[in-house]
Amino acid sequence: MWPLTPYSRVKAWENTRSVLSDPAGSVAGVPADNPLIRAYQLTKRFGNFTAVDGIDFELHRGEAFGFLGPNGAGKSSTMRMIGCVSPPTSGELSIFGLDPVADGPAIRARLGVVPQEDTLDVELTVRENLLVYGRYFGLSRAVIRERSARLLDFVQLADRAGDRVDPLSGGLKRRLTIARSLINDPDVLLLDEPTTGLDPQARHVVWDRLFRLKQQGVTLVLTTHYMDEAEQLCDRLVVMDRGRIAAGGSPRELIDRYSTPEVLELRFDPAVHDNAAEKLASVPAQRREVLADRVLLYVPDGDAALGAVRSLGLEPLTSLVRRSTLEDVFLRLTGRRLED
């Protein structure tokens, strides 16, 4: 059974909250030093398939927290449990100190959700979408009108307010979804793969807006399989793989812990690729990854390592010395690449 939150409890919350506007950074019902979200051995199974396999994490106010992992890692299932639309199979989950199963509507009243797939009403206009959504939170028309104007400015859609949503591009729809997710002035914003499917330019606009929200102190939780997205936006993240958390920390900490300062990427003629990869074993490196098309050497100094490669008589078609990224962390932790 899925118990229903008495309507009166949500209504009471709606009334107190709008009358007593909380000071910035405070969250109703949660002492200042407590985590906003706490999960312990959180598990989600669908039949025999275990999507989320006993994960632990905590989210604190003002943080930008990420779940990084490839498709099927269990990120979206975790987000849906936090969003109180998916009852956990086992383990503990508390959001604002409340139980997502018993108090789903009261929790959702304080969340902003940007789902992976757009859920806009494409027949309505941009402005009507915000109106309809604001009403779901019990906001008055005046409040919605005032917030819509500011939010559409914020996502740079003010000039499209009267347009129907259907013909808008994917990037504009995403920005509208972000505006919509902020209509209730949420304590936590959940973003499930916020830029998947967008072209690079549209993605940068979304990143810019999310970065501004982060700068303003909005608590963000996001899932992504783009390591650059995680590096740019997340203060702290966990690397997920096959329903489990493989590692956690800030992007810098993870790179320091699981990779080397530099990476030397070498590409050889396919005809000699395997042979060259074997010979490279004698080059001093902390780690060597042989991919289908490249060989990666994890070293403190990439240029020095390239010199050592050349002194073996190997001449790569291309060579690149770069800093380590979360992609390297993921490869190290799981033996696989993120975007495969």
Partner 1 sequence: MTAVTTPAPARPAAWPFAVRQLRFWLTDYRRTWRGSIVSTVLNPLLYLGAMGLGLGTLVDQHGTAHLGGVSYLVFLAPGLLAASAMGNAVGESTYPVYGSVKWNKTYQAAVAAPLRPADLFHGHLLFVTMKLTMTSSVFLAVAAAFGALTSPLAIAALPVAVLTGLAFAAPIEAWTVTRSRDTSLAVVYRFGVIPLFLFSGTFFPVTQLPAWIRPVAYLTPLWHGVALCRALCLGTATLPGALLHVAYLAAVLAAGIWAGNRTYRRRLYV
Amino acid 256 reads D
CB 116 within 8 A of CB 192: yes
108 makes contact with partner 1 (CB under 8 A): yes
The strand ranges marked E within the chain are 37-46, 49-59, 64-68, 90-95, 111-114, 188-192, 219-224, 236-241, 244-249, 262-267, 287-290, 295-299, 318-323
Collapse the DSSP code of 6 into the 3-class scheme (helix H, G, I; strand E, B; otherwise coil) and give the result: coil
Residue of 6, 15, 275, 312 interacting with partner 1 (CB under 8 A)? 15
Residue of 14, 56, 256, 265 interacting with partner 1 (CB under 8 A)? 14
Across the beta sheet with 295-299, what order do the strands follow? 287-290, 295-299, 262-267, 318-323
- Least distance from C-beta 137 to partner 1, angstroms? 6
Amino acid 232 reads Q
User: Count of alpha carbons within 13 Å of 206, Cβ hemisphere only?
Assistant: 25
Separation CA 220–CA 224 (nearest Å): 13
74 makes contact with partner 1 (CB under 8 A): no
Residue of 124, 290, 304, 333 interacting with partner 1 (CB under 8 A)? 124
253 makes contact with partner 1 (CB under 8 A): no
Residue of 42, 113, 240, 338 interacting with partner 1 (CB under 8 A)? 113
Nearer to partner 1, 135 or 310 (CB): 135
- Least distance from C-beta 323 to partner 1, angstroms? 33
Summarize as ranges the residues that interact with partner 1 (CB under 8 A).
Answer: 2, 4-5, 7, 10-11, 14-15, 17-19, 21-22, 24-27, 46, 80, 83, 85-87, 104-106, 108-109, 111, 113, 115, 117-124, 128, 131-133, 135-143, 146-147, 150-151, 154, 182-187, 213, 216-219
